[in-house]
Structure 1
Amino acid sequence: MRAEYPHVLSIPTRWMDNDVYGHVNNVQYYSYFDTVINEYLIREGGLDIHAGPAIGLCAESRCEYHAALAFPSVVQAGLRVLKLGRSSVTYEIGLFDGDAAEAAATGTFVHVFVDRATRRPVAIPDPLRAALRRLET
């Protein structure tokens, strides 16, 4: 249900998102996941993707498809945090077709925060942690 997600981002589908079967291709769903997560981290957590000392790397992702999405429509991408650790965070994402109450797809995505130079795990920076706490359910 849409109300379970504290953050929602509108993402318009693009003509190129559809495949020959007339619906959004499965690989695009992961792009929507990445978009809603990083939009939130940049805007609400101050993530500096170009020069910040810590970066989030995807360690795991998965998606369950419940209904088709298709161009033209606007995907409402809901985001919440399921688990917040020292250096990692597990998100849940719900993708909704416009104003639909039920998700067309749900998925999880795990970020591990690492030092930009060494790629070794580091504690999630405080501003990001504060933003992520606002998404805990």
Structure 2
Amino acid sequence: AQARVFFGNYLIYFDVAITEYMRAIGYSYKEMIDQGMDIFYVEASCQYKGAARFDDLLHVHARISRFGTTSFTFDFSIFKQPSDELIATGRIIIVAVDIKTEKPVYIPDELRQAVAFFEGESE
């Protein structure tokens, strides 16, 4: 066994960060489903800049960096604590879809506004 965290786990960390981000902005996955919308991950990337090891404390920073008409992009940074060493960056592109047809749909204004408020772009 390697002493390093398996490379694929970084994408799991990104996924957990998305869930926590959505919870923090007050726009839950359940709310999306209730509105008839789902999200599909259509692209994911990770650039490894260092290594995490068993029992390391990590801080995963997530932010929505771009909104399109039917898609949005999350950017990530993972820092090892307490040194604050950057060990990975990444990106996930998500498409909003109708839950029944699975066809792309317009991203709701409520989501855009919640992100703008959370990111400090609105008063």
Question: Structures share a fold, TM > 0.5?
Answer: yes
Aligned length: 118
Superposition map of 1:79-94 within 5 A? 79-94=62-77
CA distance in 1, matches of 2:40, 2:26: 16
Name the SS for the 1:124 alignment partner: coil
Percent identity over the alignment is 30
Q: 1:58 pairs with 38, 41, 45, which one?
A: 41
Query: Structure 1 residues 120, 136: CA separation in 2 closer, same or farther (over 3 Å shift)?
Result: farther
Is there any run of 5+ residues in structure 2 with no aligned partner, and where? none
Residues 79 and 135 in structure 1, CA contact (< 8 A), matched pair in contact too: no
- Find 1:120's aligned residue among 92, 98, 103: 103
Q: Specify which structure has the bigger relative contact order, considering alpha-carbon pairs within 8 angstroms and separated by 6 or more residues.
A: 1
Gaps of 5+ in 1: 1-19
**Match of 1:22?**
3
**Residue 49 of structure 1: how far off its partner (Å):** 3.6
Distance 1:24 1:136 in 2: 34
1:1-137 alignment, distance < 5 Å: 20-49=1-30, 51-52=33-34, 53-133=36-116, 134-135=118-119
Give the TM-score normalised by structure 1.
0.76
Q: CA deviation at 1:100?
A: 3.1
Cα displacement (A) at 1:136? 8.1
Deviation per CA, 1:77-129: give whole Å up to 9, x if none: 00122211121111110011113334100001101010111111111122221
